[in-house]
Chains A and B, each alone.
Chain A
């Protein structure tokens, strides 16, 4: 009797296993964006989604493992990329044995300065006023003859 019960238990277990769906596996990681340019001292976010074998996807940005190939240039934590230097780095994200990389450029913050001297080509200074604009922003306005604009 005991042997029959054990056999019945095994059959039930086998039947249960036959009809339970297999746990979905992680099949791919999708990172957004796949390249990134960040100004020094600025930060930008990368998100990662895992695509599963059952067709579903899930945002795993917060739980994935993130590393930077050049921590002196770019740091990364939970997908948040911060440029701490200038140069290039590769950010690597790993989740469930899957890995994707993102190329990151950390660039300088720059500004233009300069000087433009304006006049007539015969050295006959006859300019009474000059206004100069850098990218539509007025950077200089002055009235005198022999004009130098500094921006």
Chain B
């Protein structure tokens, strides 16, 4: 659907780590023409990270939202 899109991630981790989770530089978004099935543009995603709080136990869950501010 055309408009600004939001991508949400829910990450479950198996170990307690005081660390940053993040998206890698190879992440990207493409806008496709649905009728002709061709790629109109390919956009890199800026790296976004979240800190694992130290209160997290051995297993935990992170949720964050990447706002893909692409009008298409």
- Residues of chain A touching chain B, judged by Cβ–Cβ distance below 8 Å, are 39-41, 107-122, 124, 126-136, 143, 145, 147, 149, 151
Contact = CB atoms under 8 A, between A and B. Distances in A.
Contacts, number: 117
Interface of B: 1-2, 5-15, 17, 19-24, 26-35, 40, 45, 49, 59, 66, 68, 70, 72
A131 B70 CA distance: 21
Nearest to B10: A131
A114 B30 contact: yes
A151 B17 contact: no
B48 to A, nearest CB: 10
A126 B61 CA distance: 12
30 contacts: A41-B35, A108-B34, A108-B35, A109-B2, A109-B33, A110-B2, A110-B32, A110-B34, A112-B29, A112-B68, A112-B70, A113-B32, A115-B26, A116-B7, A116-B66, A117-B27, A118-B11, A118-B22, A118-B23, A120-B21, A126-B15, A127-B12, A127-B21, A128-B12, A133-B7, A133-B9, A134-B5, A135-B5, A136-B6, A149-B9
